[in-house]
Amino acid sequence: MSQVYIRDAVINDVPLIYQFIKALAVYEREPDAVAATEHDIERTLFDEGATAHSIICFESDAPDAEAIGFAVYFYNYSTWLGRNGLYLEDLFVSEDKRGRGAGKALMKYLAQRAISKNCGRFEWVVLDWNKPAIDFYHSIGAEAQAQWQIYRLSGDKLLQFAEQ
């Protein structure tokens, strides 16, 4: 793939974003884990005050170009840096389009966005079994932060803790 075209997602992209989210869940071996609906995606990415954002990657800038990937990101904050960071929540490129530079183009686009917003970091997580993604991230110079472990409260455990 010699060149790809990336743009900010618009509300009409919600069905496409949802399709990519479901394809990512299949790839990550969690095909039934997507609880979000298209309405949830529309609300959280496009309603007034939305704090998450999405970009779409196309094979070219032709009006009928095929969408081949997407990313969802948001801004977090580092007290140690006193600056925002850009956090990549999801990145996905269609299986038959991988290995042609679309993933790197999406990452570079987000890195440039982080720089333009004066972010001190660009971070994400990767499943420990996802060797192709890990190899890709290493190839662009990213470093694993092995000393940090992610903890999560969700679902009933989150509700129970909040109500204690």
Kindly list the catalytic residues.
137
Q: 60 or 75: which carries more pLDDT confidence?
A: 75
Sign of CA dihedral 91, 126, 120, 3: negative
- CB count within 10 Å of CB 93 equals 26
What number is the average pLDDT over the span 1-9?
Answer: 86
Taking the C-alpha atoms of residue 66 and residue 87, their distance in angstroms, rounded to an integer, is 26
> Is the pLDDT at 1 greater than 80, yes or no?
no
Which of 57, 103, 49 lies closest to 74 in space, CA to CA?
Answer: 49
Taking the C-alpha atoms of residue 95 and residue 103, their distance in angstroms, rounded to an integer, is 11
Confidence of residue 94 (pLDDT cuts 50, 70, 90): very high
**Looking at residue 142, what is its pLDDT?**
95
Pairing between β-strand 83-93 and β-strand 67-78 as defined by DSSP bridges:
antiparallel
The pair phi, psi for residue 106, each rounded to 5°, is -65, -45
> Is the pLDDT at 150 greater than 60, yes or no?
yes
Confidence of residue 2 (pLDDT cuts 50, 70, 90): low
Q: CB within 8 A of 134, min separation 6: which ones?
A: 126, 144
The pair phi, psi for residue 107, each rounded to 5°, is -65, -40
**Looking at residue 151, what is its pLDDT?**
92
Model confidence over 95-132: pLDDT tens digits? 999 998 999 999 999 999 999 999 999 999 999 999 99
